Homo-oligomer: A and B are copies of this chain.
Amino acid sequence: MIVAHKKDSVVLLVHCKDRKGIVARVAGFIHDFGGNILDSDHHTDEETNDFLMRMEFATEGLQIPVDDIPAAFAPVAKVFDMRYEVRPLSRRTRVGILVSKQDHCLADLLQRQRRDELPIDIPLIISNHDTCASWAELFKIPFMVCPVTKETKPQQEQQVLSLLKAQQVELVVMARYMQILSADFLAQVGCPVINIHHSFLPAFIGANPYRQAYERGVKIIGATAHYATEDLDEGPIIEQDVIRIGHRDTVEDLVRKGRDLEEIVLARAVRRHIERRVLVYGRKTVVFD
């Protein structure tokens, strides 16, 4: 795992309109405080003139407490009218997981976390069913069942929100939650929400994508991890991957092959998010690998 290897480091994410001198100014800022830049990457969208940058620097030798960096950087940010985030990678991200009946993505995330592939804390798993309770028990993570019906959805969402906020969750992962989160929920949750959709978006939006893929006779299926937005299946895409299928594959075979994709694509998206490699702008993401 990268984090374990490197000495302690801080990520600075920056988004502004492109102008001359940004890289030099930000690199100078870090250097002036004694930081050693370990990794830097930036991207300029030539159509929109958006400038997006990620710099990772060592905290060793830093002449300023990490918690003071945001304030110290504020004047630089003001000059370029930047949106920015400062994140020490040693601070583990608090992740709340939403799950329904299918357990494979949940089990996969829990195993990756336990073997330190994903440096996250999981204070809470919430489900509308109790099917996955044994996984929570095995990994000793609090598990809350919040059943939902069409009628009780608003109240259930408020309940879920309270639980997440009580745990100061910084990221919500929909690990095959199978419920659509309302615009209200997304507006109130106060942190990013990552969803895994079981198709190669924008193909096969909506219900039963494996059945749709089967009927269309495609030769390849996919999975897509994206940030949830109020437009269903339209959120900014973080990661996609695909697998080849053939005419012998039934819908059940597609579901089976798709499970492997869903796990891997979701895990990659979560990993990139918590390493602060993803920046959203417009309907798109920049992923600094």
Contact = CB atoms under 8 A, between A and B. Distances in A.
Given A31-B24, A104-B115, A200 B220 contact: yes
A42 interface: yes
A122 interface: no
A246 B40 contact: no
A251 to B, nearest CB: 9
A248 B287 CA distance: 10
A219 B237 contact: yes
Given A242-B242, A253-B2, A217 B204 contact: no
Nearest to A199: B203
Nearest to A256: B117
A115 to B, nearest CB: 7
B43 A247 contact: yes
Interface stretch (A64-72, A143-151, A162-170, A278-286): A278-286
A1 B115 CA distance: 30
Contact of A40 (B4, B5, B40, B284): B40
Contact of A248 (B35, B204, B289): B289
Contacts of A138: 138
A284 B217 contact: yes
A27 B260 CA distance: 36
Q: How many copies does the complex hold?
A: 4
A202 B241 CA distance: 16
B104 A217 contact: no
Contact of A283 (B41, B43, B217): B217
A144 B78 CA distance: 62
B252 A240 contact: no
Contacts of A252: 1-2, 4-5
Interface string A13-47: 00000001111110110110011111111111110
A107 interface: yes
Contact of A42 (B39, B238, B250): B39
A116 B238 CA distance: 31
Contacts of A35: 20
A238 B218 CA distance: 8
Contact of A247 (B4, B219, B284): B284
24 contacts: A1-B252, A1-B253, A4-B252, A20-B61, A24-B24, A28-B28, A38-B44, A39-B44, A39-B248, A41-B41, A43-B248, A46-B250, A104-B115, A138-B138, A200-B200, A202-B216, A203-B203, A216-B237, A216-B283, A218-B237, A219-B238, A246-B287, A246-B289, A247-B284
The 3 residue pairs across chains A and B that have the minimum distance between CB atoms: A217-B284, A24-B31, A24-B27
